[in-house]
Structure formats: C-alpha cells, structure tokens
C-alpha cells in the first residue's frame, strides 16, 4: 500500500475545540485509497464519517498526521489544494448542493469551465454524462424543478464530468427514499464498473453499506474494522 | 456561464429584496442628483447673473490699481480709454465693452446728509449687459431716457431714508481727482432694489459722464469686457493680455471670479449644504445596499462552500460578488438618473418658488440643472458605493473554511 494509491493517510487525527472541551473526532487513522475503489465508510452517527470524508476530499485539514496525494505529502499550499479540488476530486453532497441559479446543463458544465475546457468539448462531455446518469432531456430544468433523486443524479453528473481520480459522497442517499437511494447506488456502481471511477462514500444504512466492495467501519473516530468484499 | 453571469443571476434571486434595494438607490441617488442639480442651477444662475450685472468676464484696471493705495480718487484710473475700448471690441468673442467708476461721498436732500457708494456707468451698455443673460435691465431705462444728464438713481432704502420721491432733487458732494470738493445737483429719476438691504441703503447710480464732470476727470476705474461664453474666459484673458502688451497698454486684468466675492460666498454656502446632504444620502444608499448584499451573501454561505469545493478559487468567488455589486450599482445608477431626469423636468415646469437666501431680498424659482458631469460622477459614485458595500462581506465569506461554509445552514 502507498505507492500506487491515489491518497494515502498516515496517523491522522482531527480534534474540534469546543470552548474548553476538545472533541477527538478522528484519531490514529491510516487509510489508502486505490484507483477503482468502491469504498464505503460506515459507522453510527458521530463516529467521524463526515470528518474523514472532508479530510480525504481536501476540504478540511487534519490536526496531525500526513496526507499523501500521488505519493506527495500535502502542505497547506492553497493554490495546489484548489487545483486538486478542481481537477482530481469530485463531491456529492447529502443535500445535493446544486447552484439554484444554474440549470441542469450549467451545473454540470461548471467544473469544466473552471478547468478551461473549450465550449464545444464541454457540450459533448456534459451531454454524454447526462445520458449516463439518465437525465437526457432534462438539461434545461432548474434544480428546483427536479425530484430529489434527479437532483442527486445531476450532482453525480457534476462530480464525474471532469473524470476525477476520486468521487466523494457523504451519505448521498440519506435525503432520498430507499428505492431512489438504491437507484443512486446502482448508478454509482455502474459508473465504477464501466468507467473505473473511484468512489468513496459514507452511509449508516446497512442496505447501502453492504454494496461497498471495501467497507471501513468507524467507531468513536477510529477504524475498527476493514473488510474487502469478495 | 462565467462569474459575471453568475453574479448577475444571483442579483435577481431574491427579486423582492433586490427591487427594494433598487428603490432605495433610485430615490436616494435620485435625490442626490436633484440636490446637486439644484446647486448647479444656483451656481450657474448666480455666476451668469454676477457676470452679466457686475463683473463681466474680464476687467481691466490701471496696472498699479491693486498694488498702490490711491491718495486721490482715480489716481490709478484708466486714461485714454477709447483706444483700449475699440481694440477690445475687435475680438469676435467680445460682446460688450463698458467703463465704470466707483466713487463715494455724501448725498443730501437739503436737510439730511448720508454717505453713499456710487457707481457711474454707461446706462445703455449696462442694460445690454443684463439683456445678454435675459434680464431686463429696466433699472437703467430712466437714466437712458433722460440721456443720463443731471440724473441719479437711488437705492430704495436710501430714497426712503432721505425721504425723496422720483422727481425730487438731491445734492452729491465728493472730492475731485485733485482733492478739491465738488458738488452737483441731480434729479432722482428712479429707485432700485438691490440684492441686499445693506447695499440698497447706500447705493446710487449715475451716468459716467456726469461722474467725470463731478470728479473733474476723463479717467475711469475699470473697463468691463463681456464675452459670448463664460468658457472662453481663460483663452481671451491670454489673448487680450498679449494684445495689451504688444500695444503698450499698461493695464492689469482680472477674471470675473477674482472680482466676485459675493458669488463665492453664496456658492460656498450652498456647497456646504449640498455636501452635507450628499453625504447623508450616500450613507443611506451605502447601508441599504450593504444590507441587501450582506443578507444575500450570508444566506448563500453553503453555496459558496460548494463553489469552493468544486475548485473555484477564492478570487473567482469574490469576483462573482463584485459583479453582483457592480450590476446592482449600474442598474440602480441608471434608474436613479432616469428618476432624477424626469423629476427635474417636472420641477422645472412647476414654477415652485424658493424663499430668499440669507441676506437677500428676492426669492427664486426652484430649478434643477441636469449637468452631464454631475450625472457621470454620481453614477460612478453609486457603482463604487455598491461594489464597496459588497467587498467586505464577500471578503469575509470567501475566506471561510470550506467545511464551515458547507456546514452553514
Ligand atoms: N464543526 C464541529 N465542531 C465541533 N465538533 C464537531 C464538528 N463537526 C463534527 N464534530 C464532532 O466530531 C465528531 C464526528 O462528527 P462527524 O460529523 O464526522 O460524524 P458523522 O459520522 O458524520 O455523523 P453523522 O452520521 O451524524 O453525520 C462528533 O462527535 C461531532 O459532534
Ligand atoms: Mg456526517
């Protein structure tokens, strides 16, 4: 482990200071994420799933420990972090977080604009990915005109359109009914199988957790079990 | 989908609130424009009135007039004016050339004597000077009618204080250019009201030739040159200075504003008021737009977190807010200009009268002058105010940690 991993975390801990109390949200975390992973972070509420995903997704910084991206240790260089977020990582949020003033097409197109992709290429890529998530014909809709499941599909399309190394999803199904949640996981599985997209997502829903090919179980901020599915 | 479009669309996300802010900007900045337009009107009116009744555009004096103290009246007056006058009249831009004498003395009705401040003029030219700016100059009609001979026009308050009527005779006493005393009997042909009662209590006007006879001289104090346009003052000043030097006229020249103390005083009085009002209005607009922008930024904190997590740089996010403030300012600025323009038209046609300013005897019509430079300056001030009011909250929110922004409800 380490050499071919996209991300490697070593002896990570994360504390939150709440006045005089220190909350140890994560400690002694060692974790590698390999290309093609379909990894679930499981654990009860407050176990540290979100905190861990935020650290992997480079939108939060650990209190101690080291994170290696492409075997290079990350420092606090904000510009490099922004580049990683823009080019290497995709995010799917529990609450979808689409930009309300943009329509479906524009939401999905946005990461490509940040990357400076040409307009012609953008159109091709966006239409392709909208087809993959089953939203062909919806590209002119505004987010508020869509159902929860459709919104999460847009969010998935937005995350994968730039072909990131890792797609991170914090409880992507928690705001959806079980059938729709199931469909979202199926879509992620399909994308993982066909395109080799790496997914790291969290859940406390046993039905969803069993779908992971790698399952990491957190308890009180520690990895208590790691299981590789057959 | 650039950050400009994003900023523009974000502006109209909360339509009601944005419209309310635009209304505040429209009325606030619109009132500012009207206030400044009104001051511009007063300034313009006062300036042109001063020029076309007192100062002309340029004034020529004997070269020692300002440097040396006269021991006798007109010691440093201008001699042989006719050459000078006809030379000045050659200029295309010159509308009018006229001479004046200022003198002082005692005026008596036979029983009571009071000090006067006299102005000797060429009545027809004085009337024409006022006509150039559309004023009647009727105060000089009676002097013109009697050819100026043996005639005097008194300030109304002075006539009252001497208890004389039109047609009565008064005596002027003054010292002549060589220091002797001289007197002349003149018939009161008219009275006039002046800008202030203080002035009216002392002022008299007579014909230039009558004054020269009284003072036993052919000199004058100054020659007044009036141009076609005030904007030509500086250029003609230079040209005439050169011409005077080349033709060895030993004169010194003043521009109108150097001789317009009253104008300057009133102008600064109005400017103080306008400045104060402008400041208040700008502060109102600043807080109104700052309030909208702060609210719209705070409620979008999570969205900003999302943008940042997608790899948007903090600078790009800031740019979006700057565009938002920019559009708010531009739209508000245009609405304010349209409002002010229409309101100005209404006001100018309404015939509303304003009370006289302090020290004055006459009120004036409420008018607003729509001046391009004012509109341009105020428009840019509005846009800047709007952009600045968005900068601070935008800075704060784009510097938040991404997780904190995302966790914001
Ligand atoms: N911003 C914060 N400030 C203080 N404490 C925090 C903060 N965020 C998380 N914590 C604490 O850190 C611990 C881990 O939180 P985290 O949100 O990672 O758990 P989680 O597994 O995602 O929970 P859930 O299933 O409820 O989303 C919890 O004890 C939580 O109270
Ligand atoms: Mg969580």
Q: Give DSSP secondary structure letters for A39-96.
A: EEEEE-TTSSHHHHHHHHTTSS--SEEEEEETTEE--S-HHHHHHHHHHTEEEE-TT-
Dump pLDDT digits (tens) for A28-63.
999 999 999 999 999 989 999 999 999 999 999 999
Share of chain B above pLDDT 90, in %: 52
Query: How near does any CA of chain A get to the CA of B408, in Å?
Result: 12
Q: Which two three-digit tokens encode residue A48?
A: 């540290």
Q: pTM score > 0.80 for this model?
A: no
Interface check for B102 against chain A (CB to CB < 8 A): the answer is no
Count how many residues are written for chain A.
Answer: 230
Interface check for B308 against chain A (CB to CB < 8 A): the answer is yes
Interface check for B265 against chain A (CB to CB < 8 A): the answer is no
**If residue A219 lies in a helix (H) or strand (E), which one and from where to where?**
strand A214-219
User: In 3D, which of A196, A172, A192, A169 has the Cα closest to residue A182?
Assistant: A172
Q: Which two three-digit tokens encode residue A103?
A: 């329509």
Ligand 1, residues A21, A40, A49: which to mutate, most atoms within 8 A of Cβ?
Answer: A49
Dump pLDDT digits (tens) for A83-125.
999 999 999 999 999 999 999 999 999 999 999 999 999 999 9
Chain A residue numbers touching B398 (CB-CB < 8 A): none
Among B304, B305, B310, the residue to mutate for chain A (most A Cβ within 10 A):
B310
Ligand 1: residues within 6 Å at CB? A 16, 18, 23, 25, 43, 45-51, 204
Q: Which two three-digit tokens encode residue B6?
A: 């994003």
Dump pLDDT digits (tens) for B178-237.
889 999 999 999 998 876 788 889 999 999 999 999 999 999 999 999 999 999 999 999
Instruction: Decide if A93 and B306 are in contact by the 8 Å CB cutoff.
Output: yes
pLDDT of residue B357: 61
Interface check for A114 against chain B (CB to CB < 8 A): the answer is yes
**If residue B276 lies in a helix (H) or strand (E), which one and from where to where?**
helix B261-298
Q: Which two three-digit tokens encode residue B23?
A: 């209304």
Question: A214 φ, ψ to 5°?
Answer: -120, 135
Q: Which class for B163: exposed (0-12), middle (13-18), buried (19 or more C-beta within 10 A)?
A: exposed
Q: Give the rounded distance of the alpha carbon of A156 from its chain centre.
A: 9
Helix residue ranges per DSSP H, chain A: 49-56, 78-87, 104-115, 119-132, 148-160, 178-195, 206-209
**If residue A223 lies in a helix (H) or strand (E), which one and from where to where?**
strand A222-228
Query: In this complex, which of B302, B312, B403 lies closest to A114 when CB atoms are compared?
Result: B312
DSSP SS3 for B182: strand
Ligand found nearest the CA of A54 = 1
Complex ipTM, two decimals? 0.93
Which residue spans within B109-221 are E strands per DSSP?
113-121, 151-155, 169-175, 181-192, 203-207
- CA distances (Å), origin A25, targets A29, A51, A58, A76, A220: 11, 7, 16, 21, 7
Query: In this complex, which of A59, A101, A111 lies closest to B9 when CB atoms are compared?
Result: A101
Instruction: Decide if B1 and A113 are in contact by the 8 Å CB cutoff.
Output: yes
Instruction: Decide if A86 and B310 are in contact by the 8 Å CB cutoff.
Output: yes
Interface of B with A in 203-262 (CB under 8 A): none
Q: Is residue A1 predicted with pLDDT exceeding 60?
A: no
Q: Report the CATH number of the A36-61+76-225 domain.
A: 3.40.50.300
Q: Is residue B333 predicted with pLDDT exceeding 80?
A: yes
């Amino acid at each position: 482990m380490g050499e071919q991993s996209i991300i490697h975390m070593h002896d990570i801990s994360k504390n939150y200071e709440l006045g005089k109390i220190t909350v140890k949200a994560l400690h002694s975390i060692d974790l590698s994420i390999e290309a093609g992973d379909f990894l679930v972070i499981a654990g009860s509420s407050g176990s540290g799933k979100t905190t861990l995903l935020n650290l992997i997704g480079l939108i939060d910084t650990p209190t101690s420990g080291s994170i290696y991206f492409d075997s290079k240790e990350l420092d606090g260089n904000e510009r490099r972090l922004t580049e990683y977020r823009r080019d290497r990582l995709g995010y799917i949020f529990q609450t979808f977080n689409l930009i309300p003033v943009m329509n479906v097409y524009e939401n999905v197109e946005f990461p490509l604009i940040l990357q400076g992709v040409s307009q012609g290429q953008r159109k091709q890529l966006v239409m392709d990915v909208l087809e993959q998530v089953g939203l062909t014909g919806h590209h002119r809709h505004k987010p508020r005109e869509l159902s929860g499941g459709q919104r999460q599909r847009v969010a998935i399309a937005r995350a994968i359109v730039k072909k990131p190394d890792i797609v991170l999803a914090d409880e992507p199904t928690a705001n959806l009914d079980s059938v729709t949640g199931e469909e979202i996981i199926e879509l992620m599985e399909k994308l993982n199988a066909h395109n080799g997209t790496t997914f790291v997502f969290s859940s406390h829903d046993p039905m969803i957790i069993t779908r992971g090919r790698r399952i990491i179980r957190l308890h009180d901020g520690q990895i208590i079990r790691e299981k590789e599915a057959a | 989908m650039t950050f400009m479009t994003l900023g523009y669309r974000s502006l109209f996300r909360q339509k009601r609130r944005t419209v309310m802010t635009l209304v505040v900007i429209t009325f606030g900045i619109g009132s500012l424009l009207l206030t400044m337009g009104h001051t511009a009107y007063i300034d313009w009116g006062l300036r042109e009135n001063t020029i076309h009744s007192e100062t002309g555009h340029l004034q020529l004096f004997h070269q020692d007039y300002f440097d040396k103290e006269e021991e006798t009246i007109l010691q440093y007056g201008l001699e042989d004016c006719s050459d000078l006058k006809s030379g000045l009249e050659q200029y295309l831009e010159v509308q009018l050339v006229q001479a004046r004498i200022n003198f002082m003395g005692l005026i008596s009705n036979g029983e009571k004597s009071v000090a006067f401040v006299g102005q000797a003029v060429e009545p027809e030219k004085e009337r024409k000077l006022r006509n150039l700016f559309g004023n009647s100059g009727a105060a000089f009609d009676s002097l013109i009618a009697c050819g100026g001979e043996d005639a005097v026009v008194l300030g109304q308050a002075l006539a009252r204080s001497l208890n004389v009527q039109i047609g009565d005779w008064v005596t002027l006493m003054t010292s002549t250019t060589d220091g002797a005393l001289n007197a002349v009997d003149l018939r009161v042909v008219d009275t006039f009201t002046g800008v202030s009662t203080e002035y009216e209590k002392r002022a008299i006007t007579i014909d230039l030739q009558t004054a020269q006879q009284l003072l036993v001289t052919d000199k004058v104090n100054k020659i007044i040159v009036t141009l076609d346009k005030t904007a030509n003052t500086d250029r003609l000043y230079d040209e005439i200075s050169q011409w005077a030097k080349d033709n060895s006229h030993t004169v010194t020249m003043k521009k109108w504003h150097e001789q317009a103390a009253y104008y300057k005083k009133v102008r600064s009085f109005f400017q103080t008021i306008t400045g104060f009002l402008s400041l208040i209005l700008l502060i109102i607009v600043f807080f109104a737009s700052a309030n909208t922008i702060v609210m719209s930024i705070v409620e979008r904190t999570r969205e900003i977190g999302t943008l940042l997590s997608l790899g948007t740089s903090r600078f790009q996010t800031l740019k979006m807010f700057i565009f938002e403030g920019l559009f708010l300012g531009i739209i508000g600025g245009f609405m304010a200009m349209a409002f002010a323009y229409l309101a100005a038209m209404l006001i100018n046609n309404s015939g509303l009268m304003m009370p006289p300013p302090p020290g004055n005897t006459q009120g004036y019509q409420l008018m607003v002058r729509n001046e391009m430079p004012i509109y341009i300056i105020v428009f840019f001030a509005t846009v800047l105010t709007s952009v600045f009011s968005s900068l601070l909250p935008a800075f704060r929110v784009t510097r938040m940690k991404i997780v904190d922004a995302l966790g914001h409800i």
